[in-house]
Structure 1
């Protein structure tokens, strides 16, 4: 068979994250061994973080697109590949590699990640869609893969030092948290799940999840399923310092270790109090109105200030290469 008739992959890469020669030395032999044609390479720029490059790669015949960069590059490639029929291949270059963690893909071994891309299977998962209403009345739509939020988490992202993040990774968020959390105050939202009445609440953070596992194996949304066509919503309402300790205990202990066994689940049920620091909701979409504009974050990246938002799940919109 001529090379022109073979399946081809593309690589969309961030040159500040990727040593291209080293990655070529891994991908090109793997493509040849798997019977694929010549891989094509696309470098991101300040003007195009990957979305339009991915669309160009797919239009040029790419059956699979590697996202080679941070979590922002992965998100941009996913937006570009949405509903195209081509598949996303994940490489462990990000600070968190959160989608790879949730799909149980390699986050430390590049060669294994490449092998899975060429020899694994394709799984269709949901893509989170955030429709952001800006203060000036403009509307923007962006995709997200794992989790979005408003409140303390978004304020931390907005105050994270990018230079420090490149140096120490996720510890830069700890630095930002130390500065943000002492001054954080609950804020009022009005939210409406699809086909449900509107509700009002005072929250410290509200999160919208396509997946549930964060860095360090923290189970923020233990029942979230990446291909169920639904978003899981976590409303965090801790009261005082003890409330934050209770929230941490729930996420680390109840959502993790105890939930894995029938005995543990009985212990959770027996020891759960009437007052909750976290409330879980689930819907195909949710609209949130704010009394005052706030920061919003998507997959750990700050996306500016919004007056209101809508989050929804685009069911099965993203094909991903998995084991």
Structure 2
């Protein structure tokens, strides 16, 4: 049986017609499924755990935040997971090439159930993530993108505005390779190639190699951050002289003061995080 968890507020509620169409296609193909809608933030993990008792595949229908919650319920159950990308960013779906597909294609993939392992990581020992943990610049970009007042504005303009507003913060970073202090405007532990709605953070990132990429910019002045932005849009950020990339299995990131960060599209606040590859993977349904 297939389980489907749908977040009705995904993409400001604009995905309802697509969800109805997907259910109609499943009915037309005679698929057996259980369907539930979330009623509050934070509910999807418990729904996914409940579904795991009777469902072989659990699908997260929504954006990256919904995928994040469902993954926290699916992890450790041994059940497969699929993404029905209905959000505005859909970066985890991009990693498994499920974004921009027609509804009928998604339904066929869901019914077929072909899967592959997908790396998970833990944050501070418990919460499961699939995509990234990021500080500073990307936090500002996503904050502006999610602000209803900016919905009519172009994405490129919002990114430029976020870069202009972002100031360097001081971080202490420790990995299996050593530790150091750095002033940075961009710092991310990346498990997928894109973030922030398709920004090609590091195209070489792999989601099934048992490691993640720690990408850190050293702040060297305002001009360099605009050069970084230009290279980021082309997927060449790692080629900039102030950027370092470490492929690691764990990292401790401690900001000089309490700071917001984003984990898979969800906002948190912390005095420091430990990101570590989880001992198990999730079997992710793919094309």
Cα pair 1:145 1:210 within 8 Å, conserved:
yes
Is 1:55 matched with 2:36? Answer: no
Note the alpha carbon deviations across 1:220-269, whole angstroms, 9 max, x for none: 1232110111010110224334212331343344639xxxxxxxxxxx9x
How do 1:33-44 and structure 2 match up within 5 A?
A: 38-44=32-38
Give the 3 Å change call, closer, same or farther, for CA 236–300 of structure 1 in structure 2. Answer: farther
Structure 1 distance, partners of 2:93, 2:145, is 23
Is 1:84 matched with 2:77? Answer: yes
CA-based RMSD of the aligned residues comes to 2.8
How many Å apart are 1:52 and its aligned residue? 0.6
Aligned to 2:27: 28
Structure 2 distance, partners of 1:71, 1:310, is 21
Is 1:209 matched with 2:194? Answer: no
How do 1:103-252 and structure 2 match up within 5 A?
A: 103-131=96-124, 141-158=126-143, 160-164=145-149, 167=151, 171=155, 174-175=157-158, 178=161, 180-194=162-176, 196-214=177-195, 218-252=199-233
TM-score, normalised relative to structure 2: 0.86
User: Among residues 88, 93, 96, which one is paired with 2:89 in the alignment?
Assistant: 96
Is 1:291 matched with 2:287? Answer: no
TM-score, normalised relative to structure 1: 0.77
Cα pair 1:87 1:321 within 8 Å, conserved:
yes
Structure 1 unaligned segments of length 5 or more: list them: 1-7, 132-139, 257-267
Cα pair 1:190 1:200 within 8 Å, conserved:
yes
**3-state DSSP class of the match of 2:89?**
coil
Structure 2 distance, partners of 1:110, 1:237, is 43
Structure 2 unaligned segments of length 5 or more: list them: none
User: Among residues 52, 66, 74, which one is paired with 2:59 in the alignment?
Assistant: 66
How many Å apart are 1:154 and its aligned residue? 1.7
Cα pair 1:50 1:80 within 8 Å, conserved:
yes
How many Å apart are 1:283 and its aligned residue? 0.8
Structure 1 distance, partners of 2:236, 2:165, is 28
Cα pair 2:89 2:197 within 8 Å, conserved:
no
Structure 1 distance, partners of 2:191, 2:120, is 7
